[in-house]
């Protein structure tokens, strides 16, 4: 507790005093993640749980009504998406306040998220569009090949993902509209995409380690639970994903915030030199 108080009492990470190297971006993001972990963990855990909601619904409830047209699953997916966008906004605003040395205000965050909920859907879908498309594609594949396909396609989509990834902090931190945030993100990232790619690749490798560990644990538990106990196996797998995602989401957003601030500073210095 004393260590956490010391971290929160230190001056804010942003605005940055100078441009950062890729390793320094990750180091600053980790310090921001560590300082805001306790304050963001409930929201990130709930966000990951919402992402698992369509899978849990299809596993535990929809099997009883296999003849339905599928509108119920679409409704569950839409609700999970809307609530997930709101929670990602709260996490981003909270980490942004901590990065500036300010105390997060729950009421202010909720009012901001509710007032910008509709345009936030556009900004979030653009920021995470390519990873979401990859996840949707993998979900239709056999689970045995889904992991392999995800690991193979993860590297090619990093480059287009890097061009739009900073839309999320541009929208929430700078209070821009969705299309203005996309335009600013492309403007500051287009000549320095490799910096975001490096940060995202390192982040993806870190998250992939936890993903592989969770997969190995589920695979080890499968023979113990037996083939017939599919519900329990699905529940165990979802719980492990919940733990991995609850830690991974704040770290990814912290990386995006620091990387976006670095890109903004570089673009400002470039304009001053010109």
CA distance 186 to 167: 8
Would you say the C-alpha torsion 225, 226, 227, 231 has a positive or negative sign? negative
When pLDDT is averaged across residues 254-270 and rounded to a whole number, the result is 91
pLDDT at 61: 66
How high is the pLDDT of residue 9? 39
Query: Among residues 84, 76, 8, which one has the least CA distance to residue 45?
Result: 84
What is the band of 131 on the pLDDT scale with cuts at 50, 70, 90?
confident
* φ, ψ for residue 59, nearest 5 deg: -80, -45
Determine the average pLDDT of the residues in 185-193: 87
Residues 58-102 have pLDDT tens digits of: 666 655 555 455 677 778 888 888 999 999 999 999 999 999 988
In the numeric block, the tokens 């991995």 are attached to 244
Give the separation between CA 85 and CA 161, rounded to whole angstroms: 18
Q: Which positions ≥6 away from 171 have C-beta within 8 Å?
A: 116, 119, 120, 123, 127, 177, 178, 181
Residue 236, pLDDT score = 62
pLDDT grade for 207, boundaries at 50, 70 and 90: confident
pLDDT class for 5, splitting at 50, 70, 90?
very low
Ranking 145-149, 167-171, 227-231, 260-264 by mean pLDDT, the lowest is 227-231
**Angstrom distance (rounded) from CA 250 to CA 98:** 12
Rounded CA separation 29/34 (Å)? 9
Backbone angles phi, psi at 49, to 5 degrees: -60, -40
Cis before residue 15, ω within 30 degrees of 0? yes
Place of tokens 């260590």: 3
Residue 263 clears pLDDT 70, i.e. is over it: yes
* pLDDT (0 to 100) of residue 139: 63
Q: What are the tens digits of pLDDT across the range 226-257?
A: 554 556 666 666 666 777 788 889 999 999 99
| 109-118 pLDDT tens trace | 999 999 999 9
The pLDDT value recorded for residue 225 is 59
The CA-CA-CA angle for residues 85, 215, 197, to 5°, reads 55
Q: How far apart are the first and last CA of the chain?
A: 47
Of 99, 128, 152, which Cα lies nearest the Cα of 200? Answer: 128
Radius of gyration from C-alpha coordinates of the chain: 19
The helix-helix angle for 2-9 and 22-60 (nearest 10°) equals: 120
Q: Residue 20 in contact with residue 257, Cβ under 8 Å? A: no
> pLDDT value at position 35?
92
Question: pLDDT higher for 40 or 230?
Answer: 40
Which band of pLDDT confidence, cut at 50, 70 and 90, is reported for residue 156? confident
* Most confident region among 136-140, 141-145, 150-154, 264-268 by mean pLDDT: 264-268
Mean pLDDT of the chain: 80
- DSSP class of residue 63 equals G
The stretch 260-271 carries a mean pLDDT of 90
């Amino acid at each position: 507790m004393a260590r956490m108080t010391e971290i929160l009492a230190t001056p804010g990470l942003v605005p940055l005093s100078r441009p950062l190297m890729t390793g320094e971006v990750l180091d600053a993001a980790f310090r921001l993640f560590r300082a805001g972990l306790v304050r963001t963990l409930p929201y990130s855990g709930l966000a990951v749980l919402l992402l698992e909601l369509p899978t849990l619904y299809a596993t535990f409830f929809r099997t009883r009504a296999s003849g339905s047209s599928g509108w119920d699953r679409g409704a569950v997916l839409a609700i999970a998406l809307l609530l997930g966008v709101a929670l990602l906004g709260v996490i981003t605003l909270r980490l942004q306040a901590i990065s500036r040395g300010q105390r997060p205000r729950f009421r202010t965050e909720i009012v901001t998220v509710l007032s910008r909920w509709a345009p936030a859907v556009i900004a979030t879908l653009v920021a995470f569009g390519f990873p979401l498309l990859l996840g949707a594609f993998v979900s239709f594949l056999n689970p045995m090949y889904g992991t392999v396909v995800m690991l193979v396609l993860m590297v090619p989509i990093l480059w287009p993902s890097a061009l739009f990834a900073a839309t999320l902090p541009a929208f929430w931190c700078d209070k821009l509209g969705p299309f203005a945030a996309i335009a600013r993100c492309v403007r500051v990232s287009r000549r320095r995409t490799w910096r975001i790619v490096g940060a995202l690749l390192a982040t993806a490798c870190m998250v992939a380690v936890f993903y592989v560990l969770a997969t190995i644990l589920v695979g080890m538990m499968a023979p113990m639970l037996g083939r017939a106990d599919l519900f329990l196996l699905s529940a165990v797998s979802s719980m492990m994903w919940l733990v991995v995602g609850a830690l991974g989401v704040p770290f990814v957003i912290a990386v995006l915030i620091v990387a976006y601030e670095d890109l903004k500073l570089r673009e400002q210095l470039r304009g001053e030199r010109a």
